[in-house]
Copies of this chain bind each other. A is one copy, B any other.
Amino acid sequence: MNTIADIARLAGVAKSTVSRYLNGGSVSEETKKKIEIVIAETGYAPNAFAQSLKAKKTNIIGTIIPRLDSYATSRTLIGIDERLRELNFHMLVSNTNQDLEREIENIYTLAKQKVAGIILLATQITDDHLKAFKQINIPVLLVGQQHDDVYSLVHDDETAGYAIGKYIIQRGHKNIAFLGVGEHDIAVGVNRKKGVKKAVADHDDIDARFFETTFNMSEAAIRAQSLFDEFSPSALVCATDNIAIGAVKAAYQKNLRVPEDVSITGFGGYEVTAMMHPSLTTVQIHFVDAGRTAASHIVKLVNGEDIPKLTYSNFEIILRESVDIRTDHPI
Q: Which residues of A contact B (CB under 8 A)?
A: 45, 47-50, 52-53, 67-71, 74-75, 77-78, 81-82, 90-95, 97, 112-114, 217-218, 221, 245-246, 248-249, 252, 271-272, 274-277
Contacts and interface: CB of A to CB of B under 8 A. Distances in A.
Nearest to A53: B49
B81 A74 contact: no
A82 B97 CA distance: 9
A70 B97 CA distance: 18
A275 B243 CA distance: 11
B68 A272 contact: no
5 contacts: A49-B49, A68-B81, A69-B74, A91-B93, A92-B93
A52 B47 CA distance: 10
Nearest 5 CB-CB pairings of A with B: A49-B53, A93-B93, A49-B52, A68-B74, A69-B74
B78 A245 contact: no
A217 B69 contact: no
Contact of A277 (B71, B218, B277): B277
B245 A275 contact: yes
Contacts of A217: 271-272, 274-275
B272 A245 contact: yes
Contacts of A271: 217-218
A48 B113 contact: yes
A258 to B, nearest CB: 10
A43 to B, nearest CB: 9
A69 B70 CA distance: 9
A227 to B, nearest CB: 16
Contact of A75 (B69, B78, B91, B249): B69
A50 B74 CA distance: 33
A82 B67 CA distance: 11
Contacts of A74: 68-70, 74
Contacts of A112: 45, 47-48
